[in-house]
Homo-oligomer: A and B are copies of this chain.
Amino acid sequence: MSIENWFEYPVRAHPSHTDYSGVVWHGNYLTWMEEARVEHLRSLGIDYAELVASGSELPVVELSLRYHRPIRMGMRAVVKTRIAQMAGVRINWDYRIQSVDGEELYLTGRVTLVAVDREKGKILRQLPSLMKNALLPIV
């Protein structure tokens, strides 16, 4: 899989992201990762707010993260996302958060989403057509 598959979302560590040790608090990365995912979907023609309005959503059902190096207040970074795998209505996303020059690796992770019918609260049998049309060509 080539580098072109990675979507890049730039971020900056601001005071609210840090904890007492002056680095980004470990849970705050999930905010950035979700933002990157939503913007990645947008770049593929899927507006997440519209998807929700149309009755579906994509909750996170699994995630695993490794924290390689901390990001200090004031530092910039790039959140890279890639759809690693789709199996039915399950979508695995890979993540890398690294320095702008690509030299330093801060975090690697995988997040699994599943498509759900909002009203029934149940997993869908297949992806909403809005998503299928947008995602199938790229994986």
Contacts and interface: CB of A to CB of B under 8 A. Distances in A.
B20 A18 contact: yes
Nearest to A69: B121
A126 to B, nearest CB: 21
Q: Count this chain's copies in the assembly.
A: 4
A73 B34 CA distance: 13
Contact of A49 (B26, B62, B72): B72
Contact of A15 (B48, B61, B73): B48
For chain A, the bracket of interface size reads 35 or more
Given A49-B74, A60-B26, A38 B66 contact: no
A63 interface: yes
Given A62-B67, A64-B64, A74-B50, A15 B25 contact: yes
Contact of A61 (B25, B47, B67): B67
Contacts of A27: 16, 27-28, 30-31, 34
A138 to B, nearest CB: 22
A74 B20 CA distance: 11
Interface of A: 12, 14-16, 18-22, 25-28, 30-31, 34-35, 38, 47-50, 52, 57, 59-67, 70, 72-75, 118
